[in-house]
Amino acid sequence: MSERAAVALALLLLASPAAAEPRVTLLDLPFRVTQLRDAGSEAALAVTTAGLPQLPRKAGPVAVAWGEAGAAILMLAGDKVTAVPLPLDAIEGLTAGETPKGALPGSRRVLAGPLSAYLSGPSRGPDGRPGAAGVTLRERQKVTMSADPKPVPVATATVPPGVGAVFSADTLRPVEIDGSLNLLALSERPEGNGLAVIGRQDGVWRVRAETPPEPGPLALAAELPGPVPGAVLVRGEEGRLEHWSLAGGTPVRTGKSADGTGFSAPGAVLGSELVVASRDRAALAYVALGGLAERARVALPAPVGAGLAVLGDRVVVALADGRLATVQDGDARP
């Protein structure tokens, strides 16, 4: 190569924007993290509405992490994730209602507007694993304004999974479909596992639709809100991603990941991408929601443990060894 060509190539490389490699930073916490809740959780809602003096008046979205020896509120301060210490007894009080009486042990209820829902009726799936015989919904009713205080009436309903089926112990996810609130749950049948869409039909809460059951493991990586709601599933031993559209309340598979690339839950939506654990949980992958093509992958200091949360353009990951890491990807857009 001539000297002139070498100089031109160097100038071209300097002028070209290079893809930013994802960066991992460990947060310095004085306790081992065993629980992590994202900004949409009941725990995060309780923290932000409790009037805690540790939080600024306009804190923005927060996540919550805790373990046997401590707790912390996680938030963005400028371009960094910071941890605000929280007394352990405070977080225990704020999260006491996560598993209501009658709920499947170890499960958590979800809150969405006037609705709360949780897995109920401990049962066993076809493979003997713990499952739930129903989903219990409690919905606050409208109250006519008057001078005298009145208790808010609550309507309760329990939705069964269908004959011979149980609901998986996976967390319920709320999603709006055609202007109405629905819940996503996983159902297990002798012939396989599928995604169940629970919604109101003819004034009654029921399983409105399901994906065809298929043998093998199934996990819900993320729900996809927006004008075209959807869900991303992790299917089979190989960890194949599947994108299902839920428009109209009828699940339609619109894409799947390429063969040979495996993933595992948990996952979360970050802009137009899905951030999801690799099959061995030793890395995070950034996957385009359109086409499910992987764009970037970052190795973690330890496997993914209690879960992950998104704060702005940062991903907070609870690692299996109790540490907490943040991942920043310069090409990700919140």
Q: Judge whether 300 and 325 are in contact, CB under 8 Å.
A: yes
Alpha-carbon distance values, 143 to 114, 148, 186, 255, 321 (Å): 12, 11, 34, 44, 49
Identify the band that residue 81 occupies on the pLDDT scale cut at 50, 70 and 90. Answer: very high
State the burial class of residue 97 (Cβ atoms within 10 Å of its Cβ: 0-12, 13-18, 19+): middle
Q: Judge whether 175 and 223 are in contact, CB under 8 Å.
A: yes
Residue type, 177: I
Rounded average pLDDT over 86-98? 89
Q: Judge whether 218 and 194 are in contact, CB under 8 Å.
A: yes
Q: Residue 8: enclosing H or E segment and its boundaries?
A: helix 3-15
Write the DSSP symbol of residue 10: H
pLDDT at residue 17 in the model: 42
- Dump pLDDT digits (tens) for 109-147: 999 989 999 999 999 988 888 999 999 999 988 877 776
The full DSSP string for 166-209 is: EEESSPPEEEEETTEEEEEEEEEETTEEEEEEEEEETTEEEEEE
What's the pTM value of the predicted model, to 2 decimals? 0.88
HSE of 108 in the Cβ direction (CA atoms, 13 Å)? 16
CA-CA distance, 315 to 23, in Å (whole number)? 10
> Residue 4: pLDDT above 60?
no
Q: Judge whether 319 and 301 are in contact, CB under 8 Å.
A: yes
> Residue 78: pLDDT above 90?
no
CA-CA distance, 331 to 323, in Å (whole number)? 25
Q: Judge whether 85 and 97 are in contact, CB under 8 Å.
A: no
Query: Any idea where the domains of the chain sit in the sequence?
Result: 99-215
In this structure, of 33-42, 48-57, 187-196, the range with the lowest mean pLDDT score is 48-57
